[in-house]
Amino acid sequence: MFNAAYFGVPGAYSEQAAIKYLGKASKLKGCKFLPEVFESADTDSRVGVVPIENSIEGAVTQTYDLLLKSELSIVGETILEVSHCLMAPEGTRMADIKMVYSHPQALGQCREFLDSHKFDSVPFYDTAGSARMLKETKIRNTAAIASERAAKVYGMDVLARKIQSSRHNYTRFLIISKDTKAKPPNKTTIAFSAKDKPGSLFKALNSFADNRVNLLYIQSRPIPGTPWEYNFYVDCDGGINSSNVKKAVEELYDNSDFVKILGSYPRARFGKNV
């Protein structure tokens, strides 16, 4: 039994988030794809650690889609400061680089650096995975974007540090689990779809305002098979059992075709968790 499953391979930012949340002594399992993290958290791992939002590139939309399908709940979150490095196999010079591999989120976070050097971007499933791939294949004239820890794990030369477009680059990670016995919650994540009639979305969101519930975040995702219709995801202040959140959710049911509580959990406080 693993303490946690995380997205990626050793050296991935999700692994760092798992260590930060659970401690260095935790037994961790890397997963190549996000659905595997959910599967592992449902079978052979106590929790899963998945990225949900980056301060530069925004939402990790696949995570939202998987949360909607899964029976797992969000039981916690943590925030990690992300500092990207350009790395390549030993002996590679910056002038040699033509292509750069990394996860699409990392490539987007480093867009200004990549464009300034006229590097071709190649999407890969994971940041640390791209470093491992270059180590194993020794592709010429190619680099990867990943963490400095990944460079140490895979013996890569770091050619440039802190290459993200903003110095203030953070990723928020969710902790998902079957076990919902968590610390007292003060944040709740809810998915819903508004009724198909005028004013329904306004009424759905107004359920929170009328009950003095502070909305922290809202994200929309297309509903598969129904073009131009959407599921909405909201984060709000307060645990699901607090009177004002409970009342807001009751009213939300009246104005929605579908409502699912994705989790109620302790909120990661920016500054204390970074």
Q: Which residues are catalytic?
A: 171, 173
Residues 160 and 82: their CA atoms lie apart, in Å, by 15
Q: How is residue 126 annotated by DSSP?
A: -
Query: From the centroid of its chain, how far is CA 82?
Result: 12
Place of tokens 């106590």: 46
Q: Where are the alpha helices (DSSP H) in the chain?
A: 13-22, 34-43, 61-69, 104-109, 111-116, 127-137, 148-153, 200-210, 243-254
End-to-end CA distance of the chain: 28
Q: What does DSSP say about strands 99-102 and 142-146: parallel, antiparallel, or unpaired?
A: parallel
Residues 262 and 73: their CA atoms lie apart, in Å, by 6
Nearest to 4, CA basis, from 43, 41, 51, 33: 41
SS3 state of residue 177: strand
SS3 state of residue 225: coil
Residues 154 and 136: their CA atoms lie apart, in Å, by 9
Pull the structure tokens for residue 49.
């650690």
Structural contact between residues 115 and 95, judged by C-beta atoms closer than 8 angstroms: no
